[in-house]
Amino acid sequence: MIPFFKQVLATLNDHQIPYIVGADSLVGLSEGTLCKYSPNLRLYLFPLSRGQLFRLALSLIRHRIVLKPKTNEGHRYYKLRSKTGLFQKDPEHVSLTLLRPVENGHLAFLGGHDTFFSNLDLHQTSLQRITLDGIDILLPPNLNEFIEHYKKELMAGFYKKHPVAFDSRAEKQAVQFMHENISIMNSAGISFWVEGGTLLGALRDQKLIPWDHDLDFGMKFESEAQMKRLIRHLRRRFYVSVKDFPKTNKIWQLGKYRVLKIYPRKNLIFKEKLCLDLFVYYEGKLPDTDETVYKYVVWNRNAYHRKEYLNAPESLTFYGKEVPVPANPVGFIEVKYGQDWRTPVKEWNVALDDGSIYKTG
């Protein structure tokens, strides 16, 4: 456990503030690794007074840890970061999700909706205390039973409800947006392809998947000039956000560009909710072999595809127009979604279920 996490837990213990390790952190802990699913630490906080919160924030700031209130769809939570310098901070953070008391239990806002935890399974007077890396941490009293009962809710952050779904109206907008992007990328001379859920829908359903929420493209990085030219072309028409790689040694540092998030413009300045994710792939070797592949990072996971899929993209007809797809698109999809990709699965998450994720050992 990193020192920052230890200090947060020690401070909560010193102030006798009741909490439990929560969400994917709790599931990971039960499977042997606290940060198995995320580099960040998730805690659920039982109700506390403003005075307790103020004293906690003061104690944390003495250790150069900043507690900031945040909101998610109107629900308050807190994010803690360790400041390593005036303009520097640790890439990892701790999130404190507030438990709200209701009759016979507590509610927590997780994954876009409220989750109910019964007092029979979770009550602050019956928490289990264990020692991990020299620090006492608090857990539900019957950990394995709790996870078996609530695992879906604990992992809700990986299966979020999204404000976009491809009903008939949204589908029409998304198709137009997709073809506009294809036209711009072709004119910019980019080697790219449709992938992810967009490709899955094209192959399996010959349409966008109704419960999908975005569009997925991939491209090969060739040069800085190439990227600047593409971003310039896209920004003439769309809102473009450039995402870099998380600054942690657990994540491959491949370059400056991890993914371009492209949105239709709204009133020239703002962006629509519809998004196209353009993942940037970099040629390189896998750490444990000499195999040269195309590497990328998605949902804070190292991932890759073999060169044979991406060196010579093919095309197929999708909504009446030709779209680029990986070579052997069925093989590509089988890597990502498994052999049973033809069976629709509504609750699927790239960070947990994607077969292209690089696994060590």
Nearest to 137 by CA among 1, 242, 338: 1
Please state the pTM of the whole predicted model. Answer: 0.76
Q: What is the full per-residue pLDDT of the chain (361 aa) written as tens digits?
A: 899 999 999 999 999 999 999 999 999 999 988 988 888 999 999 999 999 999 999 999 999 999 999 988 888 999 999 987 666 667 789 999 999 999 999 999 887 788 899 999 999 999 999 999 999 999 999 999 999 999 888 887 776 656 667 777 889 999 999 999 999 999 999 999 999 999 999 999 999 999 888 999 999 999 999 999 999 999 999 999 999 998 877 899 999 999 999 999 988 778 888 999 999 999 999 988 889 999 999 988 899 999 999 999 999 999 999 999 999 999 999 999 999 999 998 878 787 889 999 987 5
Q: How far lies 190's CA from each of 257, 282, 297, 312, in Å?
A: 15, 14, 20, 13
What pLDDT, on a 0 to 100 scale, did the predictor assign at position 159?
63
Domains along the sequence of the chain with CATH: 3-158 (3.30.460), 168-353 (3.30.460.40)
CB within 8 A of 293, min separation 6: which ones?
Answer: 283, 284, 285, 286, 304, 305, 306, 307
Q: Is 7 helix (H, G, I), strand (E, B) or coil?
A: helix
What pLDDT, on a 0 to 100 scale, did the predictor assign at position 229?
94
Largest separation between any pair of C-alpha atoms in the chain:
64
Q: Is 343 helix (H, G, I), strand (E, B) or coil?
A: coil
Cβ burial of 185 (10 Å; 0-12, 13-18, 19+) is: buried
Q: How far lies 105's CA from each of 25, 100, 108, 116, in Å?
A: 21, 9, 10, 7
pLDDT tens per residue, range 23-79: 999 999 999 889 888 889 999 999 999 999 999 999 999 999 999 999 888 889 999
Nearest to 94 by CA among 13, 5, 2: 5
Residue length, the chain?
361
Contact 164, 214 (CB under 8 A): yes
Nearest to 94 by CA among 111, 110, 77, 108: 77
Contact 203, 333 (CB under 8 A): yes
Contact 13, 129 (CB under 8 A): no
What pLDDT, on a 0 to 100 scale, did the predictor assign at position 163?
64
Nearest to 43 by CA among 62, 61, 24, 71: 24
